[in-house]
Amino acid sequence: PKVLVIHGPNLNMLGKREPEIYGHTTLDEINASLKNLGRTLNIDVETFQSNHEGVIVEKIQKAMGTCNGIVINPAAYTHTSVAIRDALLLLDVPIIEIHLSNIYKREPFRHKSMIADIATAQISGFGVQGYTMALEGAEKIISGKR
Ligand code: DQA
């Protein structure tokens, strides 16, 4: 099985970006640990990051029929993007929404997620650990263990 992990805008700056909120781990480190975990779980993990909404939309469109699950941190687009929501609706696979921070504990504009109600599950506030949990959760759902 294959899981596509999508990281939205500014997540390429992890490590340098507001470390008190997002921690010190870099995106490369997160991706490497997900690929590693994927080998253990027998999941082929592809990772992708873009700062551009349309590029993310096109990546999701191309995922149609080619992956068994999506793990996505849409970052700021979480709160704004009907386009990413609509693209995800094209897919017939489990979608795990993940945020490093607890978005419900932060500014009111972060409390609304445009994808929460179409996601299979949401993880928010566990820091980088959330990515591991998201992939493990995706694997369980895909393999029917949940
Ligand atoms: C984020 C939360 C968003 O509100 C923010 O715009 C991000 C990261 C998170 O992982 O906590 O860029 O998705």
The bridge status of strand 95-99 relative to strand 44-49 is: unpaired
User: Residue 74 sits in a domain of what CATH number?
Assistant: 3.40.50.9100
**Upper half-sphere CA count for residue 19 (Cβ side, 13 Å):** 5
For the chain, how many structural domains are there in total? 1
Q: What size, in residues, is the chain?
A: 146
Q: What is the pLDDT of residues 25-83, one digit of tens each?
A: 999 999 999 999 999 999 999 999 999 999 999 999 999 999 999 999 999 999 999 99
As a 3-state breakdown, the chain gives helix, strand, coil percent values, each rounded to 5, of: 45, 20, 40
Catalytic residue among 7, 77, 99, 131: 99
Catalytic residue among 7, 22, 77, 131: 22
Q: What is the pLDDT of residues 82-105, one digit of tens each?
A: 999 999 999 999 999 999 999 999
Mean pLDDT on 17-31: 95
Model confidence, pTM: 0.97
State the pLDDT confidence band at 145, using cuts at 50, 70 and 90: confident
Q: What is the pLDDT of residues 92-142, one digit of tens each?
A: 999 999 999 999 999 999 999 999 999 999 999 999 999 999 999 999 999
Residues spanned by the domain of 83: 2-142
Residue 81 carries which DSSP code? -
What phi and psi, each to the nearest 5 degrees, are found at residue 89? -65, -15
Ligand 1, residue 101: give the atom nearest the CA: 11
